[in-house]
C-alpha cells in the first residue's frame, strides 16, 4: 500500500518538522491549529486552501487519511509536514499550488527540462534605467533561474544594459523580474530650520561725587601767603568714582552741585539699561535618494598654528560651519526613518593661546521617524547666564540708604536658545519621456 494511504500521526511528522526548521526555511503563512483523526488528506488540503488564499490542485494519485494535531504553526509549514510525511511534493506557480506524488513531480520536471534542452535559444538586450546593470546581472544569477548550461546573462557598463540568452519562456520571465526591480528610487526633501536666539539685558547704576575746597594761608598768594585747594583722590577730583558704562547713544546721567566761595560739591548719578535681541535663522535644504546619505555644508575654516614635536610650526584648519547630514529611508507606512546630524558651529569671542579664535559648538544627532510632510522639533538648547557685579567702597557702601553713594551695581542677563526644526517630504519622480512615448504607441 502506498505511504499516502496510511494514517499519519503527529509523532511521525515531528522529526520532519524539525529537519525543515533546521534547514533554514522561513515560514510566513498565517498560523493555524489542526486536530484531526483519520481525516481525508484532500479535505485537509482544501482547508489549507481556504486559509492561505492559494488555489490547491491535487492529482488522482493523491489519496489517504491522516491523523494529526498541530498547534499554532504557519499554514505553509503544516503543508510541508503533511507532504513530506506522505511522500508528496508541490509545484507553486503564482497563486496555484499543484500537489502530486514525488515520483510524478520529478517526472514532470524532467520532461520540462528535456523539452527546454531542445528549444531554440533567443537573445534580447534590455536597457537598464535606474539601477546598475552589474547589479541586475548578479540579481538574476543569484536567483538561479537561467537554464542550466544554456542560459546566460551579461551586463555592459558603458551602455548600462544586459543581454539575456535563454529559451523564450525564461527570457520573458527574466524581463518581468527586471521590470520589477528597475524602478526609480524615491527621493526625499529634507529642510532644516535652525533658530538661534541670543537676547541680552544689562542694567547698571553708578555714582560719582566729590568736592573742591579752597582756602588760603597768610592772606593767600597775593599777600605772600599760599592758596590751598583740597579735592578727592579717586580721579577727576572725586571722592567716589564708580560711574556706569555710559557713552554716546547709551545710558545717561544726572548732575547735582553746590557751590560757595570756598566749596564746590558735585554729584553725578549715571544709569545704563540695554536690551538687545538677536535672532539668527538658518535654513539648509537637501534632496536625497532613499537610503542614501546626503550632506550640505557652508561656513569657514579657521586657521590654527600647531607646533610639532620637532619644533616645526604648521597651520591647520578647523571648521566653523553650518552642516546638515541625513540618511532617509521610506517605509511602506508613509513614514520616513531618518538618521540626522545637524551642526551650527561658529567663531567664538573666546580666544586661546596666541589669540587663536575658539569655536562655539552646537550640534544635534539623532534617529527618528517622521510622517511624510510633517514638521517636528528634533532638539533644543536653552542656556541662561545671570551676572551681578557690585563695585563698592568698603564699610561705607554697607550703610543703609547712605551706602548707595559708595557703590556701583551691574546686573546682566544673557540667554542662549537654539531650536532645530525638521520638515521631511517625499518627492514625486518625473515621468520619463521615453516611457510616455511607448505608452502613446
The CATH number for 134's domain is 3.30.1370.120
Partnered with residue 411 across adjacent β-strands are 203, 388
Residues 107 and 135 reside in one and the same domain: no
Residues 102 and 139 reside in one and the same domain: no
DSSP label at 390?
Answer: E
Residues 43 and 111 reside in one and the same domain: yes
Residues 423 and 308 reside in one and the same domain: yes
Round the CA-based radius of gyration of the chain to a whole number and report it: 44
Give the integer Cα–Cα distance in Å for 74 and 353: 70
DSSP label at 185?
Answer: P
What range defines the domain where residue 159 resides? Answer: 119-181
Q: Nearest to residue 200, comparing CAs of 274, 111, 259, 128?
A: 274
Measured from the Cβ of residue 194, the count of other Cβ atoms closer than 10 Å reads 22
Is 5 domain-assigned?
no
Residues 38 and 106 reside in one and the same domain: yes
Residues 340 and 410 reside in one and the same domain: yes
Is 262 domain-assigned?
no
276 contacts 197 by C-beta, under 8 angstroms = no
H/E segment holding residue 327: strand 313-330
DSSP label at 109?
Answer: H
Give the integer Cα–Cα distance in Å for 48 and 52: 6
231 contacts 212 by C-beta, under 8 angstroms = yes
> Between the CA of residue 54 and those of 29, 183, 379, what are the distances in Å?
11, 28, 50
The residue among 96, 116, 136 that closes a domain is: 116
Residues 283 and 406 reside in one and the same domain: yes
Q: How far is CA 82 from the centre of its chain?
A: 48
**Number of structural domains the chain divides into:** 3
Residues 288 and 408 reside in one and the same domain: yes
The residue among 163, 181, 199 that closes a domain is: 181
226 phi/psi in degrees, rounded to 5:
-145, 145
Enter the pTM of the model.
0.49
Is 26 domain-assigned?
no
Q: Nearest to residue 165, comparing CAs of 109, 107, 122, 211?
A: 122
Going along 134-262, which residue ranges are E strands? 152-156, 161-166, 187-197, 200-217, 226-231, 238-242, 252-259
Residues 68 and 159 reside in one and the same domain: no
The two beta strands, 31-40 and 65-74, are antiparallel
Task: Please list the pLDDT of the chain residue by residue as tens digits (441 residues).
Answer: 333 334 434 334 344 443 444 445 788 889 999 898 889 998 998 999 998 889 999 888 888 888 888 899 999 999 999 988 888 888 888 889 989 888 888 888 777 766 666 678 899 999 999 889 999 999 999 998 888 888 899 999 999 999 999 888 889 999 999 999 998 888 889 888 888 777 777 777 777 766 665 666 555 555 555 555 555 556 666 666 767 776 655 555 666 665 555 556 666 666 766 677 767 678 888 888 888 899 888 888 877 777 777 777 777 888 888 888 899 998 888 889 999 888 888 777 777 666 777 788 888 888 989 888 888 888 777 778 888 888 888 877 788 877 777 788 888 888 777 788 889 988 876 544 344 343 433
Residues 97 and 170 reside in one and the same domain: no
Q: What long-range pairs does 431-439 form, CB within 8 A, spacing at least 24?
A: 432/129
Amino acid at each position: 500500500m502506498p505511504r499516502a494511504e496510511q494514517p499519519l500521526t503527529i509523532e511521525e511528522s515531528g522529526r520532519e518538522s524539525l529537519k525543515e526548521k533546521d534547514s533554514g526555511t522561513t515560514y510566513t503563512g498565517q498560523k493555524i491549529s489542526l486536530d484531526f483523526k483519520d481525516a481525508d488528506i484532500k479535505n485537509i488540503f482544501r482547508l489549507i486552501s481556504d486559509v492561505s488564499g492559494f488555489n490547491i490542485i491535487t492529482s488522482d494519485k493523491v489519496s489517504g487519511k491522516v491523523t494529526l494535531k498541530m498547534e499554532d504553526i504557519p499554514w505553509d509549514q503544516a503543508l510541508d509536514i503533511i507532504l513530506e510525511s506522505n511522500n508528496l511534493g508541490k509545484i507553486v506557480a503564482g497563486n496555484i499550488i499543484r500537489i502530486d506524488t514525488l515520483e510524478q513531480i520529478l517526472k514532470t520536471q524532467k520532461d520540462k527540462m528535456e523539452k527546454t534542452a531542445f528549444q531554440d535559444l533567443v537573445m534580447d538586450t534590455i536597457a537598464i534605467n535606474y539601477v546598475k546593470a552589474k547589479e541586475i546581472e548578479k540579481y538574476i544569477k543569484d536567483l538561479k533561474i537561467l537554464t542550466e548550461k544554456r542560459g546566460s546573462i551579461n551586463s555592459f557598463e558603458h551602455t548600462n544594459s544586459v543581454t539575456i540568452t535563454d529559451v523564450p519562456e525564461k527570457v520573458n520571465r527574466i524581463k518581468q523580474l527586471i521590470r520589477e526591480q528597475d524602478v526609480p528610487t524615491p527621493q526625499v526633501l529634507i529642510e532644516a530650520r535652525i533658530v538661534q536666539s541670543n537676547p541680552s539685558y544689562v542694567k547698571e547704576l553708578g555714582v560719582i561725587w566729590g568736592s573742591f575746597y579752597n582756602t588760603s594761608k597768610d592772606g593767600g598768594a597775593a599777600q605772600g601767603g599760599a592758596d590751598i585747594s583740597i579735592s578727592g583722590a579717586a580721579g577727576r577730583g572725586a571722592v567716589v568714582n564708580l560711574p556706569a558704562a555710559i557713552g554716546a547713544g547709551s545710558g545717561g546721567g544726572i548732575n547735582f552741585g553746590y557751590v560757595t566761595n570756598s566749596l564746590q560739591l558735585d554729584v553725578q548719578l549715571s544709569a545704563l539699561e540695554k536690551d538687545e535681541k538677536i535672532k539668527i535663522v538658518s535654513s539648509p535644504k537637501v534632496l536625497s535618494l532613499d537610503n542614501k546619505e546626503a550632506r550640505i555644508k557652508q561656513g569657514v575654516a579657521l586657521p590654527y598654528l600647531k607646533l610639532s614635536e620637532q619644533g616645526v610650526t604648521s597651520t591647520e584648519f578647523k571648521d566653523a560651519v553650518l552642516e546638515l547630514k541625513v540618511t532617509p529611508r521610506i517605509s511602506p507606512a508613509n513614514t520616513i526613518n531618518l538618521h540626522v546630524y545637524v551642526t551650527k558651529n561658529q567663531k567664538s569671542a573666546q580666544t586661546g593661546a596666541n589669540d587663536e579664535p575658539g569655536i562655539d559648538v552646537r550640534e544635534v544627532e539623532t534617529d527618528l521617524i517622521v510622517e511624510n510632510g510633517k514638521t517636528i522639533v528634533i532638539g533644543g538648547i536653552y542656556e541662561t547666564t545671570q551676572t551681578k557685579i557690585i563695585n563698592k567702597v568698603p564699610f561705607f557702601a554697607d550703610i543703609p540708604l547712605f551706602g548707595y553713594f559708595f557703590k556701583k551695581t551691574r546686573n546682566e542677563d544673557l540667554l542662549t536658545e537654539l531650536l532645530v526644526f525638521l520638515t521631511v517630504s517625499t518627492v514625486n519622480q518625473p515621468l520619463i519621456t521615453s516611457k510616455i512615448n511607448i505608452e502613446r504607441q
